[in-house]
A and B are shown apart, each in its own frame.
Chain A
Amino acid sequence: MILSLKNISLNFGGIKAVDQVSLDVKEGEIFALIGPNGAGKSTMFNIISRYYTQSNGSIIYRNESIDKLQPHQLSKIGVARTFQNIELFPNSTVLQNLLVGQNSSKSSNFLQEMLFFPSVRKAEIDRRIIVEEVIDFLNLQPFRDKQISALSYGTRKIVELGRALSMQPNLLLLDEPASGLSAEETTDLAFWIEDIKKIMGITVLMVEHDLNLVGKVADRVGALVEGNLVAVGSLKEIQANRKVVEAYIGT
């Protein structure tokens, strides 16, 4: 198990956003969370990446509890995430955005950087090599020196995926990676997500509404309904589950 959630609950006032959810993500799989709007999928993500603190339960990442960690400490242990509404740094270039992903692995402190010690240049080149691999992987070469604010929505989505990859994570959290993408871009994305698993060996946990994409890439699917995890299994099993059908279509 790379990630285990044990009885996670979170209340906002009287509303149970997440209710007693237990979930295991296996090393090297692609796990997709689906569910209607307001089911608590993004809340789950924000709990895992420590923006919210659960009122109950605990999160185990590689046999260690991460309940006490701050959001910025997650990158050190190898957890990266993307955001539903694109949270890139719009006034920087694509290259600079990707390089930020390497910030957490730096060994120099800000004084050494301000005085530009020789080791800083070497570390800078090492970071660049890692980032260039990501650029090659996602075919971002034409956009390398473009500002984010000059890019289209679809490209920005890919850059955000790239920025998470340049952190060289073990666990990648994708929050609706295909929302707002065209059919063609979604097909590309499906190949990339599969390659992320197969070639890079990264475990992927994603929230997604596009069931075609989920069917193509996900090994296992979990369905969240009103804060409860009602079913876990293959997409076929989930689609046959009565509770899930009820939640989507109504009784």
Chain B
Amino acid sequence: MRTIFKTSYDPDINLFKDRFHRLCYVLLCVVLILFPFFLNEYFIGELTLTLIWAIAGMGLMILVGQSGQVSLGHSAFMATGAYSVVILQSKLGLPFILALPAAGLISALLGVLIALPTTRLHGIYLAILTLAISVLVEDIIVLAEPLTGGVNGMFASDIVIFGINFGRYSNIENLYWLILFTTILLVLVYKNILRTPIGRAFASIRDSEVSASAMGVNVVLTKAVAFGVSSFFTGIAGAFFGHFATAFNYETFNVIMSITILLMIVIGGVGSIHGAFFGAIVITLLPVLISFLRDFIFQGTSINLMALPGIETGIFSLILILVILFEPRGIYGAWLKTRTYFELFPLYRKDMFRRQKSYLKTERLR
């Protein structure tokens, strides 16, 4: 067991707890950067997709995990990001390096516009409203045909930055590194949110709006900021998703995608950056695993599971049910418990992570 001796307030503010902690993450980054040298194109593609999902997951995590609001409409922000980045490049001729942040900002603007009138809604009502928005966006895309290509959708050309090609099929390693770099930047932004007043404001409106306002937190404004930051992240993910898919239309960004992002962060562990990544890994690994298993079973027993089209959704739902029943804190929670078990061995107690429910919650002032 390590004990950290603090002589100033800086260690509590720093990104990393100590040198060991920092070394772990530096090593992780190095391994991730070196991956393309060891893997074939198929796996680099899957890894790239994992990172894209992780960015989208972080976006929703800021909203759900940090500021306590639900959204079933994040496919709308993915769509906004994907369409904006392509339209900005093809119609306005912006270079990708400007179009990407612009696409994020357009999504953020949409998020703020949605948040301002809906800040009075909580829980299930907010979920229904955002669900409606995600359905609505599909229709808007079809209707806005001159801009979006309507039912036919759009083609995203290869990303080019300063003459370097980041194409999905020509230079997948480059695309992977580009997205990895963006992911690291966004993780840093997320970490900064957690250690500064804005993160505390998010947590305060999540836990008690009444006392948040008594502490001087402007609840309406903070909710709008949370929505804006969340949809910025998701818009960036959408922009990359569009370029990764190379062709997409209104059906790409359907309600299922919204639900997938939400399930992803629940399985990964709500409230932590790690959770978004664990969830993204599960979501991209699962179809691969299932198809391997399917082949394996077919070769061994000649039972053809291809005939069962719903098997992926079924297994995914099963995992979700198991997670909610047995590990509500998700994969990250399970990892925390395992780590604590070994750190404190043999002093770990079974109920260490069990918390008492909070005392009387006053709803009088709602």
Please give the residue numbers on chain A whose beta carbons come within 8 Å of chain B beta carbons, in ascending order: 46, 49, 51, 70-76, 80-81, 83-92, 96, 99-104, 106, 108, 110, 113-116, 120-121, 124-125, 128-129, 147-150, 153, 156, 163, 167
User: How far is B201's CA from A76's CA once the two chains are assembled, in angstroms?
Assistant: 15
Within 8 A of A (CB), among B199-250: 200-201, 203-204, 206-208, 210-219, 225, 229
- Which residues of chain A have C-beta atoms less than 8 A from B355's C-beta? 147, 149-150
Instruction: Take A85-B359, A115-B189 as given contacts and tell me if A90 and B207 are in contact as well, using a CB distance cutoff of 8 Å.
Output: yes
- Which residues of chain A have C-beta atoms less than 8 A from B10's C-beta? 121, 125
Instruction: Evaluate contact between A72 and B229: CB separation under 8 angstroms.
Output: no
20 interchain pairs, CB-CB under 8 A: A46-B365, A72-B216, A87-B210, A88-B207, A89-B206, A89-B211, A90-B207, A91-B206, A96-B200, A96-B203, A102-B197, A103-B216, A110-B198, A113-B193, A113-B196, A114-B189, A114-B196, A121-B13, A125-B13, A167-B215
Instruction: Take A83-B362, A91-B203, A121-B13 as given contacts and tell me if A114 and B216 are in contact as well, using a CB distance cutoff of 8 Å.
Output: no
B9, B206, B208, B356, most chain A CB atoms within 10 A: B9
Interface 1/0 per residue, B345-366 and A, CB below 8 Å: 0000000000111111110010
- Which residues of chain A have C-beta atoms less than 8 A from B271's C-beta? 91
Instruction: Evaluate contact between A74 and B189: CB separation under 8 angstroms.
Output: no
Distance in Å: Cβ of B86 to nearest Cβ of chain A = 26
In the complex, which residue of chain A has the Cβ closest to the Cβ of B359? A86
Instruction: Take A85-B359, A153-B359 as given contacts and tell me if A114 and B215 are in contact as well, using a CB distance cutoff of 8 Å.
Output: no
Instruction: Evaluate contact between A72 and B358: CB separation under 8 angstroms.
Output: no
Instruction: Evaluate contact between B12 and A128: CB separation under 8 angstroms.
Output: yes
Task: Pick from B12, B193, B215: contact of A163, CB below 8 A.
Answer: B215
- Which residues of chain A have C-beta atoms less than 8 A from B192's C-beta? 113-116
In the complex, which residue of chain B has the Cβ closest to the Cβ of A75? B216
User: How far is B192's CA from A113's CA once the two chains are assembled, in angstroms?
Assistant: 7
- Which residues of chain B have C-beta atoms less than 8 A from A71's C-beta? 213-214
Instruction: Evaluate contact between A89 and B216: CB separation under 8 angstroms.
Output: no
Distance in Å: Cβ of B54 to nearest Cβ of chain A = 18
Distance in Å: Cβ of B207 to nearest Cβ of chain A = 4
Instruction: Evaluate contact between A100 and B204: CB separation under 8 angstroms.
Output: yes
User: How far is B215's CA from A97's CA once the two chains are assembled, in angstroms?
Assistant: 10
Distance in Å: Cβ of A3 to nearest Cβ of chain B = 16
User: How far is B214's CA from A73's CA once the two chains are assembled, in angstroms?
Assistant: 8
Instruction: Take A113-B193, A116-B192, A128-B9 as given contacts and tell me if A87 and B203 are in contact as well, using a CB distance cutoff of 8 Å.
Output: no
Instruction: Evaluate contact between B360 and A49: CB separation under 8 angstroms.
Output: no
User: How far is B215's CA from A80's CA once the two chains are assembled, in angstroms?
Assistant: 7
Instruction: Evaluate contact between B359 and A156: CB separation under 8 angstroms.
Output: yes
User: How far is B201's CA from A12's CA once the two chains are assembled, in angstroms?
Assistant: 32
Distance in Å: Cβ of B199 to nearest Cβ of chain A = 8
